[in-house]
Amino acid sequence: MPEGPEVQTIVNGLQNKIINHRIENITFAEGAESMVAPLTPSDFRTLIANQIVTNVHRRGKFVDIELSSGIHLIIHLLMTGQIIFNNDPHNSQPPKFLRIVFQFENGQELYIADKSTWVKIVCLSRDEIKTYKKFQDLGVDVLSEQFTFTTFYETLTKSQRMIHSLLLNQKSLSGLGNIYVNEVLFYAGINPPQKANSLLQADAMALYYAIRHVTKEALQQKGTTFSDYRTPDGGKGQYQNFLKVFKRAGKPCIRCGTPIERMKVAGRSAFLCPRDQVVNPVEKTLTSKQLTFPELHDNQSESLPNYIFILVGPSSVGKTTLSRQIAAKIPFIKLVPTVKTRQPRPGEVDGVDAIFVSDTEFKSMIEDDCFVIHGECYGNKYGTPKGLITQTLRDGSDVLIILSPEGALEIQSIYSNAYVIGLIPPSMDSLKRRVMNRDDYSASEKAARLDTLEMELNSLSHSDFTIVTETPEQALHNAFDIIYTIRCKTT
């Protein structure tokens, strides 16, 4: 059944074709009479003929064609319906299973085709549309601007339904059907039968950004065609080529290789990765020994399925705070700590924020080829552990690392799936204040860092994305948005 992205594709395709054109005639093929019931074809023709199309838009999974008389033609394609536009009827074939033809004043035609006869067309006046039950009941449209995190989270916290069922219910949220519901739950790492109100706020954020980006990409691919859905030019959607779990039972998860499973949730099919979509994931913690002496791989530039996100930014812009939040809250992402020769600062945890080693240990790690890149900054040595990155990617997680802009470019030259996120302070003054207020920097270190701030800021211009670190909460929302932009992208 066409879902929000498919119906929106139809609407987008019709807008520049039929608006401002006059419907001259309507013809019905045999079996199509029931589609306009309770009207008869002749009543329908009387109501519609000679009207000019003034607008075409989408309401949930319905196409709404507005006419000059104020009448709205509400079309629901249900299971197998198609809306096809033909700009040259004399030289091209009408679609198979043609049911209704709308003929325009310029000779062009709009077809309703359906191999069954389930399509429903309802005519409503301006007043009737305001009280039409099916529209009054529609929840917030996931493709609209009204779909905000606040409204979404409120919907979740109020519901005891299973999340898979809640997302399918058009009264709670409109525009999603079973294809996209399964896909977004996979991206967010959520178990389909989990109760909506038991989701953590971070799960809700992951789900929100997965919905935003999956539907956006699906729209860009003109929807998903398995069998019957067609775009108005008669073509197929392409999003079926990018599905990660839907109808992939038995095939390996793209993230971890575990076979995708199928289960029933309130009578509907749900597809999931049994390893990545569990109710309470148990975090595997690496031992300090593994962190310090990571396993080495010969070919780290091989193509791995997951992503590397690199945070860059000037001193005190908030890299550590944001990286901890991202690693704690965004599913499938692990912070790979940098190996450092300096002493831990107050609050820094060895093996989490950084791996602190002696000069001698660092030297032997260089000899053992443990680093993707290493360098020196303010008199201390820094190295990015090669084995740990490869191991994290192979384990099915994305990697998060904090690096200098030069280091970031180096990583991007080795790994094709690495993205640089630059953190920008709200203003230079606020950044200077943050550096001055640090009590873990010495006076000389503060002076040195203040000197290089401007240069550090300028080097952010090579970032793929930027976040202005206004507040920690807003910075985290931006990070979710960026990470899901990358994870869901199809081009």
Task: Tell me, letter by letter, the H, E, C secondary structure of the chain.
Answer: CCCHHHHHHHHHHHHHHHCCCEEEEEEECCCCHHHHCCCCHHHHHHHHCCCEEEEEEEECCEEEEEECCCCEEEEECCCCEEEEEECCHHHCCCCCCEEEEEEECCCCEEEEEECCCCCEEEEECHHHHHHCHHHHCCCEECCCCCCCHHHHHHHHHCCCCEHHHHHHCCCCEECCCHHHHHHHHHHHCCCCCCEHHHCCHHHHHHHHHHHHHHHHHHHHCCCCCCCCCCCCCCCCCCHHHHCCCCCCCCCECCCCCCECEEEEECCEEEEECCCCCCCCCCCCCCCHHHHHCCCCCCCCCCCCCCCEEEEECCCCCCHHHHHHHHHHHCCCEEECCEEECCCCCCCCCECCCEEECCHHHHHHHHHCCCEEEEEEECCEEEEEEHHHHHHHHHCCCEEEEECCHHHHHHHHHHCCCEEEEEEECCCHHHHHHHHHHCCCCCHHHHHHHHHHHHHHHHHHHHCCEEEECCCHHHHHHHHHHHHHHHHHCCC
Q: What whole-number distance in Å separates Cα of residue 270 and Cα of residue 281?
A: 19
Q: Are 370 and 294 in contact (CB under 8 A)?
A: yes
Q: Closest CB to Zn ion among 140 and 249?
A: 249
Q: Closest CB to Zn ion among 315 and 397?
A: 397
Instruction: Candidates 276, 353, 398, 410: give the one binding Zn ion (CB under 5 A).
Output: 276
CB of 273 to Zn ion, least distance (A): 3
Q: Closest CB to Zn ion among 225 and 277?
A: 277
Q: Closest CB to Zn ion among 275 and 394?
A: 275
CB of 45 to Zn ion, least distance (A): 54
CA angle 458/463/469 to nearest 5° reads 75
By CB under 5 A, the residues from 376 to 405 that bind Zn ion are: none
Q: Closest CB to Zn ion among 256 and 409?
A: 256
CB of 308 to Zn ion, least distance (A): 18
CB of 396 to Zn ion, least distance (A): 6
338-340 and 333-335 strand pairing: unpaired
Q: Which of 17, 195, 236, 268 is catalytic?
A: 268
Q: Closest CB to Zn ion among 273 and 411?
A: 273
CB of 69 to Zn ion, least distance (A): 54
Catalytic, 2? Answer yes
Q: Closest CB to Zn ion among 164 and 255?
A: 255
Q: Closest CB to Zn ion among 258 and 452?
A: 258
Residue 235-274 contact track with Zn ion, rule CB under 5 A, x = bound: ------------------x-xx-x--------------x-
98-104 and 109-114 strand pairing: antiparallel
Catalytic, 381? Answer no
CA dihedral 220, 224, 229, 235 (to 10 degrees): 50
CB of 239 to Zn ion, least distance (A): 20
CA-nearest of 86, 114, 75, 80 to 226 is 80
Q: What whole-number distance in Å separates Cα of residue 269 and Cα of residue 402?
A: 41
Q: Closest CB to Zn ion among 51 and 277?
A: 277
CB of 255 to Zn ion, least distance (A): 4
Q: For Zn ion, which residue has the nearest CB?
A: 253
Is 58 near Zn ion (CB under 5 A)? no
Catalytic, 302? Answer no
Catalytic, 410? Answer no
Q: Are 413 and 451 in contact (CB under 8 A)?
A: no
Q: Which of 6, 58, 59, 61 is catalytic?
A: 61
Q: Are 41 and 33 in contact (CB under 8 A)?
A: yes
Q: Give how many residues touch Zn ion by CB under 5 A.
A: 7
Active site residues: 2-3, 61, 268
Binding site for Zn ion (CB under 5 A): 253, 255-256, 258, 273, 275-276
